Every structure is written in C-alpha cells, then in structure tokens.
Amino acid sequence: MTEKLAFLGLGLMGGFMAGNLAKKGFTVNAWNRTPNRPGITVAQEAGAKVLPSIETAVIDADIIFTCVGDVPDINDVIFGKNGIINYAKEGSLIVDFSTIGTDAARDISSQLETKNIRFLDAPISGGDIGAKQGTLTIMVGGEKKDFDQCLPYFNAMGKTIIYCGSVGNGQAVKMCNQALCAVHMVALCEALMMAEKQNIDPNLMIEVCRTGAAGSWALTNLGPKIVASDLQPGFAVKHLLKDLRLVQEIMANANSELPGVTLAEDFLKIVSNLDQGEGKEQGTQAMIRYYNQQNNP
C-alpha cells in the first residue's frame, strides 16, 4: 500500500525535507502558511504538490508532517479554525518536526488521542545543510509502532534516526542538544578571542584544535564562518533563543540551574537586539559580536 503524505510548513528546513520525500518517489501534498517563500519552490521543484490550504493538503493523507516554529504556530496548524483537526482522516498520524518542548508535545498528543489521531514528536538537528543533504538527526517520541511506520520517510530526510521513547521524549533529547549547541558557541567564541589576543591565526587554531580533545561540530563548521565574518543563518539566533527559553522552563520546574546555558542565553539576547533588533535573524555564530563588543569597545 502506498501511503499518502502531507507536509505542512515549507520554511528553510521544511522545504528541503518535503523535497527529499518527493525525490524518493513518495506522494507529498504540501502547504505553507505564507506564499512565495523559497522553501515552496524547493519542494515543488523536487516533485511535491503544493496546495492552497491545510484542508486540501491533508484531506486524504495517512501521515501529516508538520515543521513550523513555536508552540502557538503548531497549535494553530493543528487545532486552529482551518487546522488539521477539522479535515484529517480518523486514525491518521501527525508527525511534528518543530521544537516545542516536552509539555507542549505531550499536551498535543493527549488532545489528539481524543480525536483518534496519532502523534509523534520528532524534532530535528543538523541545520539547513542537514535538511538539504538529507542528513538530519531526528529524535522521535511516541508509540514505537508509529515510529516504525514512519521509518522509510525519516530515512529519506535524515541519517541518524533515533527512537527516544514515549511522546515528548524526542523534545527532551532535543533540549539537551540545544543546551550543548549554545554552550559550545561560548567555547568557540572564547577560543577565537584567545587566538586574537595572542596574535594566532584563528584558522590555524581551528585546524589544530578540531582534531583533538577540544574538537566540536561548532568549532569545525561555525569557526571558519566566524573567521570569514559570515553570520548568515544556518540556525538563527531567534530560534536558538526560543529553544533556550524552553530549556530554562524545564530546569526551573526541576528547581535546577544551568549557568553555562544562562551565559549563552544572555549573550545571544544582547546580539539579538543589535541593528535595531535585526541581530536576531543572524546565525547563532553571531554570538561573536558580543565578544567583539566587549573586547574592542
């Protein structure tokens, strides 16, 4: 049996992901809230059929993928006036790639259960490059049989596909992932400051340190971008700040603090306010602007 797929949310990531599904020969009906976005063209050119409404995209879908922004967005797409819930087939499966936190994922799942719609939370990591190349890491929470049903589709979009347990657990692992990314950026910026203050070629420093016990994905991939003053977003400051807010909520509920994450969040907030608030649209490597400001006032 050929399952029919819907894909809602053709942003920087979603466009490539829907496209990769289509390229593998799957039938993909896609939709995006805002028209004329680059991701729509990417999905379309790869063979996805872009439709004008959620209704037309999901009406006969067996599996509905969603890749939107924050909690209000996914709630609107699923439960809003023209949301999925009004049109989806009974027994269908919604798979959400957004990063929305464990509580929101579990809340959505129980609401959908009453409508006999299944739900997986499946946040992703790997940035636009990973989405384009189909090498994303996908962290999945929910029923194991639903995960198994989606494996062929996950494999079309990602390289590391990991079942994390019950619903919300994908989000929980993603929170750890974001905490690591944020603090690794602090490490990278401080190593670059040290290189600068010691008159060491920063690319030499990166070349040396990346191969040993100081290595990280950030150092290898974002270090050279900072050196080249390339602050284009692979992942934007505003998105990491949104995720760090979720991280802080989780830890506050557990009466715990993460001083390293808090430091990273403080610096990113400062950067996000630069350029009349346009700093938030830059990539997370723009954290270096905080350090430059502090050290070369």
Active site residue ranges: 174
Q: Which residues are CB-contacts of 153 (< 8 A; sequence separation ≥ 6)?
A: 5, 21, 26, 63, 65, 95
Tally of residues, the chain: 297
164 contributes a contact to a second copy by CB under 8 A: yes
| Beta bridge partner(s), residue 5 | 28, 63
Check if the beta carbon of residue 46 is closer than 8 Å to that of residue 22: yes
Distance of CA 196 to the CA centre of its chain: 32
209, 236, 237, 241: which one binds a second copy (CB under 8 A): 209
Write down the least CB distance from residue 290 to a second copy, Å: 10
Q: Does 212 interact with a second copy (rule: CB under 8 A)?
A: yes
| CA nearest neighbour of 190 among 165, 171, 156, 218 | 218
| Spatial contact of 215 and 187, defined as CB atoms under 8 Å apart | no
Q: Least distance (Å) from a second copy to the CB of residue 50?
A: 28
Task: Confirm or reject binding of residue 125 to a second copy (CB under 8 A).
Answer: yes
Report the candidate in 243, 122, 257 with the shortest Cα–Cα distance to residue 181.
243
Tell me the window of 1-9, 15-23, 91-99, 203-211 that interacts with a second copy (CB under 8 A). 203-211
- In whole angstroms, how close is the CB of 237 to a second copy at the nearest point? 15
Q: Does 285 bind a second copy (CB under 8 A)?
A: no
Least distance CB 77 / a second copy (angstroms): 25
Sign for the pseudo-dihedral over CA of 88, 91, 97, 98: positive
The angle at the Cα of 291, spanning 286 to 292, to the nearest 5 degrees, equals: 85
Place of tokens 């350090």: 291
205 contacts a second copy (rule: CB under 8 A): yes
Confirm or reject binding of residue 183 to a second copy (CB under 8 A).
yes
Among 20, 92, 99, 216, binds a second copy (CB under 8 A): 216
Which residues of this protein are in contact with a second copy, per CB under 8 A?
A: 102, 125-127, 130, 136-137, 139, 159-160, 162, 164-165, 169, 172-173, 175-184, 186-191, 193-195, 197-201, 204-205, 207-209, 211-219, 221, 235, 247, 250-251, 254-261, 263, 294-295
